């Protein structure tokens, strides 16, 4: 059974699940199961993530961030450090 699902992660809640953290970088192309596209909605660019194959319950959603993995790690560490200081 296929399920059409949509999650709007534009606003992270102050408590509870952090929706934007449901998606990770797929380092290897064969492991990626989603692709990002930019669409226009009400004259505004909107990032939309689409599955490229069936994603099972509990499976990570992986796509190409478009930057080298070492830069992803560096950016993630900088964000964590900034969040710890606030």
Exposed / middle / buried, residue 49 (Cβ in 10 Å: 0-12, 13-18, 19+) = middle
pLDDT band of 24, cuts 50, 70, 90: confident
CA distances, 82 to each of 22, 32, 61, 75 (Å):
21, 29, 25, 11
List, for residues 30-86, the tens digit of each pLDDT value. 999 999 888 898 888 888 889 999 999 888 899 988 877 677 778 778 888 887 765
CATH number for domain 19-85, candidates 2.170.270.10, 2.30.31.70, 3.40.50.1370, 3.40.50.720: 2.170.270.10
Domain ranges of the chain: 19-85
């Amino acid at each position: 059974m296929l399920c059409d699902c949509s999650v709007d992660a534009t606003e992270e809640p102050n408590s509870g699940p952090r929706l934007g953290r449901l998606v990770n970088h797929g380092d290897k192309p064969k492991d990626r199961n989603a692709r990002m596209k930019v669409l226009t909605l009400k004259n505004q660019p909107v990032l939309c993530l689409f599955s490229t194959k069936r994603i099972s319950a509990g499976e990570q959603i992986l796509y190409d961030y478009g930057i080298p993995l070492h830069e992803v790690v560096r950016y993630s560490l900088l964000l964590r450090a900034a969040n710890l200081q606030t």
